[in-house]
Amino acid sequence: MANLCVNIDHIATLRQARGEFEPNPIDAAKIVEKAGAIGITVHLREDRRHINDNDVYLLRKTVKTKLNLEMSINKDIVDIALDVVPDEATIVPEKRKELTTEGGLDVINNFNKIKEIVTKLRLKKVIVSLFVNPDIRQIKYAKETGTDYIEIHTGKYANAKTSKDIRKEFFKIKKAAYFAHSIGLKINAGHGLNYKNVVPVAKIPLIDDLNIGHSIISRAVMVGLDKAVKDMIKLIKK
């Protein structure tokens, strides 16, 4: 049965909109944990558009569950990760002009660099995950880097419009999860998951954590962060 990790990046997005101090991601993390999430996820982007360095260091000190740091393979970001030593690090692709992460890592064409970073993180006892599309070839190469986990990119499933396309993309996710499990990888999933589409993915028995952010923070504007988190947990525990 999947667990919920909440990505609180967009708490920081609201803060940055005014360039002030509220809302505070540290306070948000405390509410999220109290509501029952098993982890806090943040993406320290190279452009620092939302979460910043100070947030990450403070979260490392205050998070009681687990801190999952999403990160690119940029050297400065890697150095911060090695200094912070989060509980888990998820290596993701990053483009400067993207609104949000647009797809999975190209592990095949960046294999040596990714393997080097995975090795450094694991030497620090950090659990490592690679954010990949539900693509068997990419997952095979991910295994060879020494990573502990893959996180399956669920964006195409979340964005599919027709019932046929939704089923097609869901089958890819399920097939990828079972293949990853068969070669000894653990599995997380995330991207674009919301209160309408999360249940089928949550029912895949091999998935450990679902990383969900935007839909929860959006709902929190209307009903409060505590209730938004609890509502999502109820869905994924069905």
Question: What residues are labeled active site?
Answer: 43, 70, 191
Instruction: Give the H or E element holding residue 141.
Output: helix 136-144
Q: Please give the angle made by the CA atoms of 232, 233 and 235, to the nearest 5 degrees.
A: 65
105 and 114 in contact (C-beta within 8 Å)?
A: yes
* Locus of tokens 């920081």: 12
Q: Give the integer Cα–Cα distance in Å for 231 and 74.
A: 36
Q: Give the integer Cα–Cα distance in Å for 152 and 113.
A: 20
Q: Which of 63, 59, 45, 68 is nearest to 210 (CA)?
A: 68
The one-character DSSP state at 130 is E
Q: Give the integer Cα–Cα distance in Å for 108 and 119.
A: 17
